[in-house]
Structure 1
Amino acid sequence: MNLLVVGATGTLGRQVARCALDRGYRVRCLVRNQTKAAFLKEWGAELVKGNLCDAKTLPPALEGIEAVIDAATTRATDSLSIKQVDWEGKVNLIKAVKAAGVEKFIFFSILNAEKYPNVPLMDIKRCTELFLAETDLNYTILRPCGFMQGLISQYAIPILDNQSVWIAGESTPIAYMNTQDIAKFAIRALEVPETVRKSFPVVGNRAWTSEEIISLCEKLSGREAKIFRVPLGLLRFMRQTTRFFQWTQNVSDRLAFAEVLASGNPLDAPMDEVYQLFGLDREQTTTLESYLQEYFSRILTKLKELGYDKDKNKKKEKKTPFKKPQF
């Protein structure tokens, strides 16, 4: 099958491309910068330059394509807004997919998007789901709620570097999943006819609060976390302030999403029937414990080889060049 992966340089998209190639698919990737996407070519994927926000670049990318997996989303540092990429760009893509007669379309939404109409990214995901439902495409919607990969920069690295870990509001239990496992569901959605025109949660084996993740990181790293709690009111104030400036609108939208993470409402869903329908083994899904265990084991071994702790202790023991004053 000829497959187009959109957003293939992202955290999730690259795993989708890797999984598809491993399964023997002929993979084409729509990319904005071919230099940054060179690793995809090395893996065996075909690169085609294009942009969701430039509708005329999409038809050439879809020539000969039988299925599309859309894993694209805007980033906080992007010059384009969430509305431009995640709404206008996705509408362009869906229209182009329909015009090209593509057989299957896989879209990544967010779990419980319909419950947060005041959060831009969640509302846009919900609107895209509704837009898809109005088409005659053979689509499947997958709804993850958090990537394990994001926990490294959020918790693991600050704890290792003795920096503060920020927690906002009431801790929300989130069923994080490894993007490698999410990618497996995307590929299986292409192969299982019963997934057509349906939506499915794609979440981890259990939901974790921030405090539980921090405790696990402390246990695995042998280091104590410095926790800084951000009042929810401060987040709201920052969001209102950043909305006034065009160059900080993406930051404002991300801060709105932070309120979801601080709401205390669990992001989790039952998965037994989903595993059964997709023909995947739950026992082979990565647990958060094993994911973080592997990370800390690898990074602590590397730090030991580099003598990081030894050098750090030397710095602490270094005496001041100034003589102690005598009284």
Structure 2
Amino acid sequence: MILIVGASGHLGSIVAQSLLAQGKPVRVMTRTPLNLAHLKQQGVEVVSGDLRDPASLLSACQGVEQVLAAAHALTGKGDNNPQTVDDAGNRQLIDAAKVAGVKHFVFISVMGASPNAPVEFSRIKYRTEEYLRASGLSFTIIRPSAFMDLWAQLIGQPILKQRKTTIFGRGNNPVNFVAV
């Protein structure tokens, strides 16, 4: 069984569909199970859980061989924010995976994660990477750059609506896009 945390997001939902197409048993954890009813209809086990609730994490990890941690709260509000989700929440998920005997943990980080990154979100992701490295779990850390399919929307939608867009940096920086 493979647990995906963050299956209501772009990457997590595509990975869930791909694993399903390969005939792999998939469980997804979400705060809002009704939003993933379409996955349940396709044979995915949908469980209720929250990265801020350690008991729900342990329950979600039971009987799981692999975990994909793709959730984030970069744009979250209130108590759904990078500190409670990306920092504390992912650490709690790593702890739950270890207690449940998960064999492999895949963590989706960010390009440029480091202890001295200029962006707090990147520093948080780095701290989680370090926590995972020290956990004793077998793991993979992925630091994707910009997702091509999302970047096109980010740049393209304003062009279509306002005939202008914002380019980050000087506008001549190379970006190695990835596609899911």
| TM-score normalised over the length of structure 1 | 0.52
Structure with the bigger percentage of helix: 1
Gapped regions of structure 1 (runs ≥ 5): 180-327
Equivalent-residue separation in structure 1 for 2:51 and 2:169 (angstroms)? 35
Cα distance in structure 2, aligned partners of 1:100 and 1:117? 33
CA contact (8 A) 2:4 2:28 kept: yes
**Which whole-Å CA distance do the structure 1 matches of 2:153 and 2:121 have between them?**
21
- Secondary structure of the corresponding residue to residue 145 of structure 2: coil
* More moved, 113-122 vs 135-144: 113-122
Question: Match for residue 55 of structure 1?
Answer: 54
The 1:108/1:168 distance shift into structure 2, 3 A limit, reads: closer
How many aligned positions are there? 178
Distance apart, 1:115 and its partner CA: 7.0
Does the CA contact (< 8 Å) of 2:86 and 2:124 recur in 1?
A: yes
User: Which protein has the larger Cα radius of gyration, Structure 1 or Structure 2?
Assistant: 1
1:176 paired residue number: 177
Q: How does 1:120-131 map to 2 (within 5 A)?
A: 120-131=120-131
Tell me the residue number matched to 1:117. Answer: 117
Letter matched to residue 8 of structure 2: T
Identical residues among aligned pairs (%): 35
Gaps of 5+ in 2: none
- Describe the SS at the equivalent of 1:114: coil
Aligned to 1:39: 38
User: Which whole-Å CA distance do the structure 1 matches of 2:100 and 2:149 have between them?
Assistant: 34
Matches within 5 A, 1:15-94: 15-79=14-78, 80-94=80-94
Once residues 106 and 169 of structure 1 are traced to their aligned partners in structure 2, the CA distance between those partners, rounded to angstroms, is: 30
Q: Any idea what SS the aligned residue of 2:156 has? A: helix
2:143 aligns with 143
Instruction: State the alpha-carbon separation in 2 of the partners of residues 107 and 6 from structure 1.
Output: 10
Flag the 1:37–1:123 CA change in 2: closer, same or farther, 3 A. same
- Distance in 1 separating the partners of 2:111 and 2:74: 19
Distance 1:115 1:89 in 2: 19
Q: Which residue of 1 aligns with 2:154?
A: 154
Question: Which runs of structure 1 show a deviation greater than 6 angstroms over 4 or more consecutive aligned residues?
Answer: none
Change (3 A) 1:138 1:169: closer
Query: Cα RMSD (Å) of the superposition?
Result: 1.6
Task: Give the C-alpha shift of residue 165 in structure 1.
Answer: 0.6
TM-score (norm 2): 0.91
- Matched position secondary structure for 1:83: helix
Q: Give the 5 Å matches for 1:276-287.
A: none
